[in-house]
Each structure stands twice: as structure tokens, then as C-alpha cells.
Amino acid sequence: MREVAIVGVGLTKFGELWSQSLRDIFAEAALAAMADAKIDKIDSLYVGAMSGGLYNYQEHLASLMADYIGQQGVPAARVESACSSGSQAVRMGYYEIASGASDIVLVGGVEKMWDADDGTFVLGTAADQEYEAYNGVTFPGLYAMMANAYMHRYGLTREQLAAVPIKNHKHSVHNPYAQYPFEIDLKGVLNSAPVADPLRLMDCSPITDGAAAIILAPLEIAHKFTNNPIKIKGVGAATGPIALHDHKDLTRLDAVRLSAERAYKAAGVTPNDIQFAEVHDCFSIAEIIVAEELGFFEYGTAGKAIAEGQATYGGKLVINPSGGLKAKGHPVGATGVAQLIEATLQLQGRAGKRQVENAKLGLTQNMGGSGGSSVVHILEAING
């Protein structure tokens, strides 16, 4: 297998992008990534998207996007895995390069969620239709059950739970692509509108339009495209039960643990080597459980550690320097790709005021549903 590098990145602003269409935002990110890698031709395309059909009445996305970015003729495929569609698409591109089948692969993720007639219904299609969605539970409801179980078992306080969005909003202030780049305090979280007890508005990732794209190439020729390629050192993916009631333990996310174990093994590193991570904080409780499954903190301790500043600058590692899904935004199909872009910018020293000092090794973790799928990538700076 060949080693694989990221040689170009491109991102749109995240938010409510009413004046652009689905294809416009994909093209904006894809063409920016191609310009970053100084290329005008690709060998192959993957598009991560959860539901072009339900959000925008548009399927056949891979072919549409290949055409719209001027790459007619290339093989192209759309990859769907709910909120982890983007990182699953990256994984496909990774193996296409690693296998020797292609040299230049563009992987883009896109979602235009504000166009939907009923966005909550669309997101609910990623839960178990027969047992969950049909009975009226939504993702805020499912994660609220996890939060209640976790608080009951480990004594996590409401204030500690609030430390996650407070931290991520603080990070987002320095991210020009973020949807909600403002700081919030404890009062702001505790007084925000109740959504599903104990979760409030400020515990939830928002509805977001956005697109993200990266260019992958074999590491051995990566310097043709950039003087600062970033190596994908390890990839791991796993599935878990799609229905929350099938989880053996409501406070655990088995797919996250399995995907992390596989990525650490592939990369030959341990959780203690990771300096920063972009993780799937779709709801405050998710970041806490994910941080434990990734091995950054012992079970039952991540909430306290985050509240004590262990997951921000100057702590054990920086979690979600971009602002995370909570503050940067969560255009579901684009999220996984955008996480790799943040990791790339950090490892290239291009992250501006949110730069993690001396960043050499970072991790991304992207999840589908309430733990039905998870993908972990470990990225390494190879220059300097």
C-alpha cells in the first residue's frame, strides 16, 4: 500500500448560505482545494453527502459535481453514512490512492440543510426508522438520554456539561469559517432554550449549509503539489448499533472506541501522542463520551477534565480548536472533511490565532447518528 498525503484544502463559510445553491457551494470548496494544490485536473472524485434528495431534491450528486467543477469523464461516487458521510468519503479516497488505482483524488463533502421543508425529519432518517424516528424521538432526544444516563452514573454536573460549548465557542472566535463565532458563558448556556432535558440550545450543534474539499495524492509525489504535505498516518472505521436501545451501555460509544483502536494501530501511536483533535461534538455530551472512547481521559472523567481546562490551549490536548460542530457548524456531509481541513491547517501552521503550538500530530473523529458509525483519521506533519 502507498502512503497518502493531503496536498490541498478548500472550505466555504459555514452558516445560512441562501444566495448559493448546493452545487455552487460544492464547487466553491472543490475549486479552492484544487487551487491550493495548483492542479486543474483530477483522476477521481468522492462526494460525501447525507441527503441531497431530502434536503434539496437532488440526488446523483457525484456525477453532478464532477460535471459542475469541469471534470466530466472522471469516475465519481457519492458516499453516505449519515453525519459521518464526509470522513467515510475521505476513507474511500485514501484507499483509492493507497491501492495505486489513482494519483489525484478530490474528496468533497457538502450539505445544504436550511433548504429542507422539515430538517428534523431529514436528520431523523439517520436514526432507526421503525423503533426510534417513527415513535417521535429526535437526535437531541437520543443524546439527552445518553446525557441523563452519564450524569446519573458518573455524577457529571450540568455546569461541567456546559464547559464543552463554552470552550468550543471560545475557540470558534478565531475561525473565519465558523457559523457562530461568538463566546458564551455559563449563564448563556444554562439560560438558553430547553431542547431535550438536560440539553439546551447551546448544547446542540446547529443547522448548517457548507462544503469542504481536500485533494489526496501519494506521499511520494506530494511535493509536486505543495511544499507542506500532510500525511494521513492512520485510518480506522467501525459500525455500532444504529438504535440507541441496542447499545449495551448508554454511556458508551463502541464504534468510536473500535475506530480509534484501528486508527491508533495503523498509525503506530497512542492517545498520549495526540496534540489536538477535532471530534464530533454534535451535542455537549457527545464530546465527553467521545474524548473517553478516544482514550484521552478515563471513563467518567472527561467532563471534569474539560471543565478544568484540560481540553484547551495549555491543557493535556486541544479538543476542537476550530470551534467544533457546536460553534463552527455541522453541515452533516461536509463535517468530516472539514475536520481534516482544520487538522491540516493546524499541522501546516496555517491556523492563525487558533494555532496549536508546535502541532505535529492530530486526530479527527466523525460519527454517524447516535454511534451507528465512526471514522478516525490520524494526521502527521512531515516537514520541519
- Provide long-range contacts, Cβ within 8 A and 24+ apart, for 349-356: 351/321, 352/174, 353/174, 354/171, 354/174, 354/175, 354/321, 354/322, 356/275, 356/276, 356/313, 356/318, 356/321
Closest contact distance (angstroms) between CB of 362 and ligand COA is 23
Stretch binding ligand COA (CB under 6 A), from 72-80, 84-92, 201-209, 252-260: 201-209
Strand, helix or coil at 339?
helix
Among candidate residues 359, 370, 216, the one with its CA nearest the CA of residue 280: 370
Look up residue 95 and give its three cell numbers: 484507499
Residue with the three cell numbers 464530546: 287
State the greatest distance between any 2 C-alpha atoms of the chain, in Å, as a whole number: 57
Q: Which of 14, 46, 94, 139 binds ligand COA (CB under 6 A)?
A: 139
| Dihedral sign (CA 289, 368, 333, 346) | positive
Closest contact distance (angstroms) between CB of 167 and ligand COA is 14
Q: Distance between CA atoms of 35 and 316, rounded to whole angstroms? A: 36
Closest contact distance (angstroms) between CB of 49 and ligand COA is 14
Inter-axis angle of helices 284-293 and 254-267, to 10 degrees?
Answer: 50
333 and 50 Cβ atoms separated by less than 8 Å: yes
Cα dihedral: 133, 137, 138, 140 (round 10): -160
Nearer of residues 204 and 356 to ligand COA, judged by Cβ: 204
| Site mask for ligand COA (CB under 6 A), range 94-133, x = bound | --------------------------x--x----------
Closest contact distance (angstroms) between CB of 202 and ligand COA is 6
Q: Which of 204, 243, 285, 343 binds ligand COA (CB under 6 A)?
A: 204
Stretch binding ligand COA (CB under 6 A), from 66-74, 196-204, 242-250, 258-266: 196-204
Q: Distance between CA atoms of 244 and 227, rounded to whole angstroms? A: 45
Nearer of residues 71 and 370 to ligand COA, judged by Cβ: 370
Nearer of residues 195 and 345 to ligand COA, judged by Cβ: 195
Nearer of residues 71 and 179 to ligand COA, judged by Cβ: 179
Assess 206 for contact with ligand COA (CB under 6 A): yes
169, 280, 330, 377: the active-site residue: 330
Among candidate residues 348, 361, 331, 291, the one with its CA nearest the CA of residue 37: 348
| Count of residues engaged in binding ligand COA, rule: CB under 6 A | 15
Nearer of residues 83 and 97 to ligand COA, judged by Cβ: 83
Stretch binding ligand COA (CB under 6 A), from 99-107, 195-203, 254-262, 309-317: 195-203
Stretch binding ligand COA (CB under 6 A), from 5-13, 37-45, 53-61, 205-213: 205-213
Q: Could you tell me the CA-to-CA distances from 63 to 26, 163, 284 in Å, in that order?
A: 12, 43, 36
Residue with the three cell numbers 454517524: 368
Active site residues: 83, 330
| Residues engaged in binding ligand COA (CB under 6 A) | 83, 120, 123, 139-140, 180, 195, 201-202, 204-207, 282, 330
